[in-house]
Amino acid sequence: AIAREVLNIVVVGHVDHGKSTVIGRLLYDTQSLPEGAIERVKRISREKGKPFEYAYLLDAFEEEQKQGITIDTTRLQFHTGKRDYVIIDAPGHKEFLKNMISGAASAEAALLIIDANEGIQEQSKRHGYLLSLLGIQKVYVLVNKMDLIDYSEEKFNEIRHEMNEFLNNLHVYPLKYIPVAAFYGENLASRSDKMPWYKGEPLLQAIDLLEKDQGLEGKPLRFPIQDVYKFDNRRIIAGRIESGTLNVGDEILISPSNKVTTVKSIEYWAEKDKQESVYAGMSVGITVADEFFNQRGEFISHVNNAPLSADTFKANLFWLGKRELVKNKEYKLKLVTQEIECEILSIIKVIDATTLENIENASQVKTNDVAEVIIRTKKKICFDEFKNNQNTGRFVIVDGYDVSGGGIVAGLVEEIQTAS
């Protein structure tokens, strides 16, 4: 069988705005529930003395897991004709941020849920900010509980305008705003006849239209040098292809030293013989036409598709250190094969990862805080924006001997300043 495409999706929103109901209803409407799940929900509802709740489906899963039966709640899935969707579980913001920044989880798209009746809450905005912080650009805003406002187009538009203005300021441009009533399945799996004024697709069709980001193989070549060996008078440049494809004969650029040469041969260790092209995920050795002095940490790319290279950049980081992260102190930054001294030039914004509350005028970043910072490295290094390349856009910070934080590259400083 051909492997089905998988898309990771995260569902965020103020408590009680309907996350569990949306998820439960999506599982139900796509027949992605295990046998007996609905019966369990009925039982849980009865036990709680409450009417049937799709939200209890998640409780039912949890119960099943506690009994050690089947499903792992962190891997809730639903299926459409097009692909499988894995719901990234976010038990708390802290775990979510940590997992996303460290690479343990990766949400490719997000559903941001707003209760139509309660309207946009502070937490709805914080969730929007969180998505921008993580560079998640495929965002659908669901205005839920439309039944409570008589399916009013006017109120939907008010929420849409207000949220859109807020998100656009954060450089988040939602793909769609969809009016839904998750409890009744309106505009989730099928078009609602309660809201004929809404001309867009219902949620499932909308997300099925989403094109997945190109895999790492299809992205620009990034081949960070791990080591250079001398071998029978040849110099072999070794490392792992982080993204893209490399072929014999390719003209390549070595950054940040800015040297151009061509690939003479590729030695792919695993195969113990020569290959004409290698791609993302492979550890390889190559020889090049011009034997410059190359060293660990430099990036090989194609000439017309170079990585960013600078000594100052903007980053979003998650701090786990025992000591606070402070300005003007020497830390070590590790980004793929690069390892270099760095310092925090400025702390732009700090938020408590548990509550997502803004910490005003912070001069340091404490354990479990998330911060927007500007980092300066001792020398120029190579990287990409995280949203363009997850392997070369991610780094860790070492304080003394301890890995104390993880971060993602948000962009060059000049670019950010002209953009805002």
User: Which positions touch ligand GDP (CB under 6 A)?
Assistant: 13, 15-21, 53, 55, 144-145, 147-148, 181-183
Q: Name which of 52, 60, 68, 54 is nearest 36 in CA terms.
A: 60
CB of 159 to ligand GDP, least distance (A): 14
- Tell me whether residue 128 or residue 297 sits nearer to ligand GDP (CB atom): 128
What is the spatial distance between Cα 13 and Cα 173, in angstroms, rounded to a whole number?
17
Tokens representing 142?
A: 């669901």
- Tell me whether residue 100 or residue 112 sits nearer to ligand GDP (CB atom): 112
CB of 267 to ligand GDP, least distance (A): 53
What is the spatial distance between Cα 194 and Cα 228, in angstroms, rounded to a whole number?
66
- Tell me whether residue 188 or residue 308 sits nearer to ligand GDP (CB atom): 188
- Tell me whether residue 182 or residue 266 sits nearer to ligand GDP (CB atom): 182
CB of 95 to ligand GDP, least distance (A): 16
What is the spatial distance between Cα 132 and Cα 84, in angstroms, rounded to a whole number?
25
What is the spatial distance between Cα 34 and Cα 70, in angstroms, rounded to a whole number?
9
What is the spatial distance between Cα 43 and Cα 66, in angstroms, rounded to a whole number?
17
The full DSSP string for 231-251 is ETTEEEEEEE--BSEEETT-E
- Tell me whether residue 50 or residue 329 sits nearer to ligand GDP (CB atom): 50
- Tell me whether residue 181 or residue 282 sits nearer to ligand GDP (CB atom): 181
CB of 55 to ligand GDP, least distance (A): 4
Q: How crowded is residue 155: how many other Cβ atoms within 10 Å of its Cβ? A: 18
CB of 60 to ligand GDP, least distance (A): 13
Residue type at 382?
Answer: C
Tell me how far CA of residue 344 lies from CA of 357, 364, 407, in angstroms.
22, 10, 12
CB of 183 to ligand GDP, least distance (A): 3
- Give phi and psi for 338, each to the nearest 5: -90, 140
CB of 140 to ligand GDP, least distance (A): 15
- Tell me whether residue 19 or residue 93 sits nearer to ligand GDP (CB atom): 19
Q: Alpha helix (H) ranges present in 48-110?
A: 56-66, 93-102
